[in-house]
Amino acid sequence: MKRLFALFAAVVLTAISPALAAPKAGDVIIRHVTVIDVEGAKTLAGQAVVLRGGDIVAVGDDAGIAKQWRAKRMVDGKGRYLIPGLWDMHVHFGGGVDLIEENKALLPLYIANGITTIRDCSGDLADQVLAWRGAIANGDLFGPRLLTSGAKIEGIAPVWKGTIEVGGDADVDAALARLTTRDKVDFVKITDNTLKPELFLYALRRAKALGIRTSGHIPMALTVDQAVDAGISSIEHLDYAYNAGAKDEAAIAADFAAGRIDRAEANRRLGAGFDRDTAMAAYRRFAAKGVSVTPTLNGSRILDYLDRDDHSKDAGLAYIGPKLRKTYDWRIERAAKADAAAIAARHAQSDAVGAILPMLVEAGVPIIAGTDAGFLNSFNYPGFGLHDEIELYVQKGLTAAQALASATRAGPAWFGWLDRYGAIKPGMAADLVLLDRNPLDDIAATRAIDTVIVRGEVQDRGALDEMLADTRAKVAAWNAEAASR
Ligand SMILES: [Zn+2]
């Protein structure tokens, strides 16, 4: 009877007062924090977030969570703001096998900047990047979650190294078979240096049939709509989306395809023919077809203003090894050859292209934050560049919430993974960034990083500073070695 009563009492106590039940165990608890609901563009003050392994297991009012949960590690979120981990959806690794170590030293820069996932859009080190992807996932290499296209699909003998060269339909089929089965790539990248336009469209259609996402540069001989109709999933670089706004785009594409005009003349006519109504109609078709745009404005801004901006004292240079730095020369030399008229045209084009960003948003096109950071792309610093990128979005007319969503939700949305990334709630990945200021008030607050949590592992300010110091030390040693030769 006594025992029965005790059992009864225990049941009643548990039912009426869950606080008296044994606390549940987590690994990390972030207390007294303001959670940013990126989707709802709002803040939730006084929250606690519990992590276990690589997962968020509980989120709620701080007092309630503190009663129910215990964790080995407490992170003080008082006065701070918690956002989902940032994604840079357009980065590169490459420059040849001699540059593998210098490229590898870039990985911690992403984490130190709050970036928990990167999408590699192909370079000339595809097998190396595939190996890093696996090593990071296994915990053998420290870095952000790495998603990659593997080698990109190109035409025969393109300017880009390390591509899969295709000259006919059978080559495209073989390339896609290799990428999807051997390399198990996360998406396919297709560019337009020597690739025949009809093969570009064929590759898009075949990839779509295989259920793999595509991203790429659209050949000048095609209209953007042709690529959209063939099933392209994301358009890289804002310029290509801009071209869809030219009234006579089809005639320009036909003239270019027939060899009647060169690329410069085609670009001049595309700019002259830009029309707001034509552009909005095109962007509504992008939205209807589920096509996203990755603007890479940071990359274009740097290249368009190389004539004016002095980068020789950039703090970011301390993170770039001497061989990677050398890959910058190609674009610097090309820019130096431009005359005053070409420079003025480039500046005007840069402004005109940037102005379509709010139009895309108005049309409902998802904007994916991506920097184009990596080898060749001068002064576009891995990790740091994403903060520049999303600040540019706000300068062009996006709200801070829209810019933040482009770097936290648009990436996972593109992959179909919003059930796991891009929000702070139970069941989501424990990829988080704790900020000293509210990014919804000022997007520059994404730079004010106190702590980064990646796959549930806490990297406090001290650890982040160590990562940065580590890469700086490596670069300094490489520079000293290069100078002594
Ligand atoms: Zn790129």
The DSSP code sequence of 182-220 is IS--SSEEE--SS--HHHHHHHHHHHHHHT--EEEPPPT
Backbone angles phi, psi at 427, to 5 degrees: 100, -15
In the reported structure, the alpha carbon of residue 162 is separated from the centroid of ligand 1 by a whole-number distance in angstroms of 14
What span, in angstroms and rounded, lies between the C-alpha atoms of 158 and 165? 8
46 C-alpha to ligand 1 centroid (Å): 41
CA of 478 to the centre of ligand 1 (A): 26
Alpha helices in 290-399 (DSSP H): 297-304, 322-327, 329-336, 340-354, 357-363, 384-395
Q: Could you tell me which residues come within 8 angstroms of residue 90 by beta carbon, excluding any fewer than 6 positions away?
A: 119, 121, 236, 294, 296, 368, 370, 371, 372
Which CA distances in Å does 450 have to 37, 305, 413, 429? 19, 32, 26, 19
Instruction: Return the DSSP state at 155.
Output: -
* Distance from Cα 192 to the centre of ligand 1, integer Å: 12
Secondary structure element (H or E) that encloses residue 143, with its range: none
Span from the CA of 210 to the centroid of ligand 1 (angstroms) = 24
Q: What is the pLDDT of residue 1?
A: 45
Confidence of residue 143 (pLDDT cuts 50, 70, 90): very high
The rounded Å distance from CA 322 to ligand 1 centre is 21
Distance 397 CA to ligand 1 centre (A): 23
Lowest mean pLDDT among 249-253, 342-346, 394-398, 407-411: 342-346
Fold of 89-415: TIM Barrel (3.20.20)
Q: What is the pLDDT of residues 312-334, one digit of tens each?
A: 999 999 999 999 999 999 888 88
pLDDT of residue 15: 47
Exposed / middle / buried, residue 248 (Cβ in 10 Å: 0-12, 13-18, 19+): middle
pLDDT of residue 336: 82
**How remote is the CA of residue 214 from the centroid of ligand 1, in Å?**
14
| 264-270 contact pairs (CB < 8 A, 24+) | 266/220, 267/349, 268/345, 270/242, 270/243, 270/246
Going from the Cα of 120 to the center of ligand 1, the distance in angstroms, rounded, reads: 9
**How much distance in Å is there from the Cα of 121 to the middle of ligand 1?**
6
- Report how far ligand 1's centroid is from the alpha carbon of 296 (Å): 8
* pLDDT score at 226: 97
The CA 209 to ligand 1 mean position distance, Å, reads 25
Please give the distance, rounded to the nearest whole angstrom, from the Cα atom of residue 122 to the centre of ligand 1: 8
Task: Evaluate whether 218 touches 232 at the Cβ level (below 8 Å).
Answer: yes
DSSP 274-316: B-HHHHHHHHHHHHHHT-EEE--HHHHHHHHTTTT---TT-GG
- For ligand 1, the distance from its centroid to the CA atom of residue 90, given in whole angstroms, is 6
427 sits in the region (left: phi over 0; alpha: psi -120 to 50; else beta) called left
231 Cα–ligand 1 center, Å? 20
Over the stretch 455-469, which tens digit does the pLDDT of each residue have? 999 999 999 999 999
How many angstroms does the Cα of residue 193 sit away from the middle of ligand 1?
A: 13
40-51 pLDDT, tens digit each: 999 999 999 999
- From first CA to last CA, the distance across the chain in angstroms is 89
pLDDT at 3: 52
Count of beta carbons in the 10 Å neighbourhood of residue 174? 13
Task: Tell me the CA–centroid distance for residue 341 and ligand 1, in Å.
Answer: 26
Q: Give yes or no for a contact between 408 and 88, defined as CB atoms under 8 angstroms apart.
A: no
Question: How deeply is 284 buried, as exposed, middle or buried, from its count of CB atoms within 10 A (0-12, 13-18, 19+)?
Answer: middle
* pLDDT tens-digit series, residues 52-99: 999 999 999 999 999 999 999 999 999 999 999 999 999 999 999 999
Pair type for strands 69-76 and 188-190: unpaired
Residue 23's pLDDT is what?
93
What spacing in Å lies between the alpha carbon of 185 and ligand 1's midpoint? 17
Residues in the chain: 485
CA distance 111 to 99: 21
Q: How far is the CA of 65 from the centre of ligand 1 (A)?
A: 44
Q: How far is the CA of 143 from the centre of ligand 1 (A)?
A: 20
- Beta strand pairing status for 86-91 and 115-120? parallel
Residue 25 CA to ligand 1 centre (angstroms): 44
Residue in 402, 389, 411 with CA at minimum distance from that of residue 440: 402
Centre of ligand 1 to C-alpha 373, Å, is 8
Q: Which two tokens stand for residue 73?
A: 């590690």
| Residue 377: closest CA among 111, 133, 101, 121 | 121
211-255: pLDDT as tens digits: 999 999 999 999 999 999 999 999 999 999 999 999 999 999 999
Q: CA separation (Å) from 49 to 34, 247, 470? A: 10, 51, 30
Separation of CA 237 and ligand 1 centre (Å): 8
Please give the distance, rounded to the nearest whole angstrom, from the Cα atom of residue 362 to the centre of ligand 1.
Answer: 25
Domain boundaries, the chain: 89-415
pLDDT band at 102 (very low <50, low <70, confident <90, very high): very high
d(CA 78, CA 131): 40
| pLDDT at residue 13 greater than cutoff 60 | no
pLDDT of residue 335: 83
State the distance from the centre of ligand 1 to the C-alpha of 461, rounded, in angstroms: 30
